[in-house]
Amino acid sequence: MTDRILVTGGAGFIGSHYVRTVLGPQGPGNVRITVLDSLTYAGNPANLDEVRDHPGFVFVQGDICDAELVGKLMAEHDQVVHFAAESHVDRSIDGGAEFVRTNVVGTHTLIDAAHRAGVRTFVHISTDEVYGSIDEGSWPETDPLAPNSPYSAAKASSDLIALSYHRTHGLDVRVTRCSNNYGHHHFPEKVIPLFITNLLDGRKVPLYGDGGNVRDWLHIDDHVQGIELVRTQGRPGQVYNIGGGTELSNKELTGLLLEACGADWDTSVEYVTDRKGHDRRYSVDCAKIRDELGYEPRKDFAAGLAETVEWYRANRAWWEPLKARAAL
């Protein structure tokens, strides 16, 4: 049986990698994918160039808040993998309205249409940021949600809305919560691509506060592996953390990027005022997805980071126009 999957936000960083992977030579082979993407500043049609001529691929430009369009598409699909979101914390601090509209109202529009259309499975992609900040240890999926930014609060809201449709209507909803992603095709406003592209241009990189904030880093290959395990083998109504197993302070990460780009600390790093409400540390416990679904991160961080730097070095034509347009 061929799975007909609606992928929202499929022209973005993680969504496009999911589409390229699933429709690629290592994919399951029994899927057809429709990407629904509004092509906001972070959505890039070029991210889908390698699958554009695939017979199982369709692209629809549209808004996940458009109930009429979403309802029509839901009737034509069996499954949903929902990536579409406003995701940049700094932008949410400057103005949270668009985050509430897309992440909360958009998710409700999708999940309600999925319920009414009888969609078989709805995979909702979320973030570890919904848990807040943790000084030591790691969050299991059972920890309470305690988001601190407008972005993470909107994502936590969308998690709860999605799961409510499982508990109320019996819809097969599965939620994933990932740690910080890295890899190629990442819009250059986030820390790794911003720092790489600045350093390649001989510019300084802005390091927040004392650089002591800690994040767990997850390569997009491993994230997609985890999502596919959840889509194909996960349990309805369950939440699965997906982590990469490499925790680094921002200062440690900056040092690795300086080394990879041949830059030095004194002339290339500028300490800047810390972000408002900056969560100190994130760390997810991945025992559940490991024990239930056999997930293990496969990408060595050093190798993955080196590959990422080389991709940006070789693909200026991809990222230079994006930085210019966004004035980054």
Marked catalytic residue, from 151, 182, 282, 295: 151
Instruction: List the catalytic residue out of 3, 86, 112, 128.
Output: 128
Residues of the chain by 3-state class (helix, strand, coil), percent to 5: 45, 20, 35
Cα–Cα nearest to 83, from 46, 133, 50, 40: 40
Select from 165, 192, 304, 316 the least CA-distant residue to 258: 192
DSSP 180: E
- Catalytic site includes residue 128: yes
C-alpha 94, offset from chain centre? 21
| The token pair that represents 168 in the structure block | 């109320």
The single-letter code of the amino acid at 44 is N
Question: By the 8 A CB rule, do 240 and 230 touch?
Answer: yes
- CA of 282: how far to CAs of 82, 101, 183, in Å? 23, 26, 19
Q: Tell me which amino acid residue 4 is.
A: R
Beta partners for residue 284, in sequence order? 139
Residue 109 CA to chain centroid, in angstroms?
A: 20
Q: Which tokens sit at 124?
A: 């909702």
Among 78, 86, 112, 129, the one annotated catalytic: 129
151 tagged catalytic? yes
Question: Which residues carry out catalysis?
Answer: 128-129, 151
